[in-house]
Amino acid sequence: MQKTLYITSNGRLRRKDNTLYFETENEKKSIDIENVEQIHIFGEVDLNTKALNYISQYGIVLHFYNYYGFYAGSFLPRKKNVSGDVVVRQALHYLDREKRIFLAYCFVESAVYHMMRNLRERKEAETFLIAIEDEWERGKFNISTVAELMGLEGRIRNIYYQSFNQFLPEDFAMGKREKRPPTNPINALISFGNSLIYSHTLSQIYQTQLDPTISFLHEPSEKRFSLSLDISEIFKPLIVDTVIFKLLNNSQLTLEHFDEDLNYCYLNQEGRKIFLKELQKKLETTVRHRQLNRNVSYKGFIKLECYKLIKHFIGDQVYSPLKAWW
């Protein structure tokens, strides 16, 4: 399995001969570039075209995050795994109203399934689980547009987030979901984790023939890879939320790991390191796949969703979204 690197310190990425180094004021580390898939950069890091060209040769994706730790943008090397036929078919599925709604429904159905899966493990949240089940069963048969589907998903997610108050420490009370900007620790954690799963999903899409800008649940638009948003819906409750629950309920993250700045709450550097370590551990955890009869990591399941979409577009197999069985 290729590695994911997280750079949280300030420094410089520099190529010397055929080696890539990360240098800080105090140390110099070589990077095993042949075994790296993606690099997430949180610190103030300098790099030049010489380093970028070398990184591109190995197809390594760079993701950049701002001062508060939230996604700012990505550097995607020239794509080698391309197929005009797949992209055309992907676009046709967006243009066909029924085909688009089918795929959008699949993403939401999987997200709701994993939200309910999380709550079934917690007796304190039973009333919220019932409320989500009722909302979903009542609403899913009355969907005629993507906007209505997103409205249903939004109502369910609001119930889901309110349930957090039942089983998370009091210091991490939800209040209401706030994204731009997050104003309390639990919102900061959710936003930080969702940014990461978005960029991880983009890395997996990049390795396939899919176009990351053609989406079905989220409206395609400029300045974002909206297919990554679609696929991330499946994995936010399955990966990000479970990591948050573990870190908070085991007191691995406390209020000391957060800073505030003008109504903006965010993880400090130490808090980010703790979160990133646990997230990567989750992504590398493997499960025995029922059909493939081999172990697949959580990160691998993201890529499998991409391949399942390609099969759907070319008419090989109708898309069925992941619903964790383990």
Q: What global pTM score does this model have? A: 0.94
Percent of the chain predicted with pLDDT > 70: 99
Mean pLDDT of 123-140: 95
Q: Look at the chain and count its residues.
A: 326
Q: Is the domain of 163 the same as that of 266?
A: yes
Q: What are phi and psi of 45, to 5 degrees?
A: -120, 130
pLDDT given for residue 262 in this prediction = 75
Q: Is the domain of 136 the same as that of 156?
A: yes
- Identify each DSSP E strand in the chain by its residue range: 3-7, 11-16, 19-23, 28-31, 36-41, 45-46, 61-65, 71-75, 258-260, 265-267, 286-288, 295-297
Percent of the chain predicted with pLDDT > 90: 86
Count of the separate structural domains present in the chain: 2
Would you say residue 180 has pLDDT above 80?
no
Would you say residue 177 has pLDDT above 90?
no
pLDDT in tens, 49-69: 999 999 999 999 999 999 888
Give how far the C-alpha of residue 90 lies from the chain's centroid of Cα atoms, to the nearest Å.
21
- The answer to the question of residue 287 being in a domain is yes
CA distance 225 to 200: 12
Q: Is the domain of 34 the same as that of 172?
A: no
Take residue 245 and report the two structure tokens written for it: 């629950």
Would you say residue 151 has pLDDT above 90?
yes
Q: Is the domain of 300 the same as that of 179?
A: yes
Q: How does residue 319 score in pLDDT terms, banded at 50, 70 and 90? A: very high
- The answer to the question of residue 319 being in a domain is no
Q: Is the domain of 147 the same as that of 64?
A: no
- The answer to the question of residue 54 being in a domain is yes
CA distance 240 to 57: 31
CATH code for position 65: 3.100.10.20
User: Within a 10 A sphere around the Cβ of 269, how many other Cβ atoms?
Assistant: 13
Q: How does residue 128 score in pLDDT terms, banded at 50, 70 and 90? A: very high
Q: Is the domain of 70 the same as that of 201?
A: no
CA distance 193 to 174: 15
Q: Is the domain of 140 the same as that of 41?
A: no
Determine the number of helices (DSSP H) and then strands (DSSP E) in the chain: 10, 12
- The answer to the question of residue 325 being in a domain is no
- The answer to the question of residue 210 being in a domain is yes
Query: Which of 31, 55, 75 finishes a domain?
Result: 75
Please give the DSSP secondary-structure letter assigned to residue 238.
I
pLDDT given for residue 261 in this prediction = 83
Q: Compute the mean pLDDT over every residue in the chain, rounded to the nearest whole number.
A: 94
Q: Is the domain of 88 the same as that of 71?
A: no
Take residue 31 and report the two structure tokens written for it: 């990077």
Residue 218, annotated as binding a ligand: yes
Take residue 213 and report the two structure tokens written for it: 């800008």
Would you say residue 221 has pLDDT above 90?
no
pLDDT given for residue 226 in this prediction = 96
End-to-end CA separation in angstroms for the chain: 22
The closest alpha carbon to 70, from 90, 50, 42, belongs to 42
> Which residues are CB-neighbours of 130 under 8 A, at least 6 positions away?
none
Q: Which residues lie across from 30 on neighbouring strands?
A: 21
Q: Is the domain of 14 the same as that of 145?
A: no
Task: Give the range among 33-47, 111-125, 170-184, 186-200 with minimum mean pLDDT.
Answer: 170-184
Query: Which of 51, 75, 99 finishes a domain?
Result: 75
Query: Which of 46, 75, 104 finishes a domain?
Result: 75
Residue 153, annotated as binding a ligand: yes
User: Domain residues for 17?
Assistant: 3-75
CA distance 137 to 131: 10
Residue 200, annotated as binding a ligand: no
- The answer to the question of residue 318 being in a domain is no
| Residue written as token pair 């020239």 | 78
Q: Is the domain of 122 the same as that of 43?
A: no
Take residue 71 and report the two structure tokens written for it: 């996604």
pLDDT in tens, 259-282: 988 778 999 999 999 999 999 999
pLDDT given for residue 223 in this prediction = 75
Q: Is the domain of 27 the same as that of 127?
A: no
- The answer to the question of residue 320 being in a domain is no
- Helices 298-313 and 269-284, axial angle in degrees (round to 10): 60
pLDDT given for residue 1 in this prediction = 72
Would you say residue 168 has pLDDT above 90?
yes
Q: Determine contact, residues 212/56, Cβ cutoff 8 Å.
A: no
pLDDT in tens, 33-43: 999 999 999 98
- The answer to the question of residue 271 being in a domain is yes
Q: How does residue 165 score in pLDDT terms, banded at 50, 70 and 90? A: very high
Would you say residue 70 has pLDDT above 90?
no
Q: Is the domain of 120 the same as that of 167?
A: yes
Q: Determine contact, residues 129/156, Cβ cutoff 8 Å.
A: no
User: Within a 10 A sphere around the Cβ of 255, how many other Cβ atoms?
Assistant: 10
Q: How does residue 103 score in pLDDT terms, banded at 50, 70 and 90? A: very high
pLDDT given for residue 183 in this prediction = 82
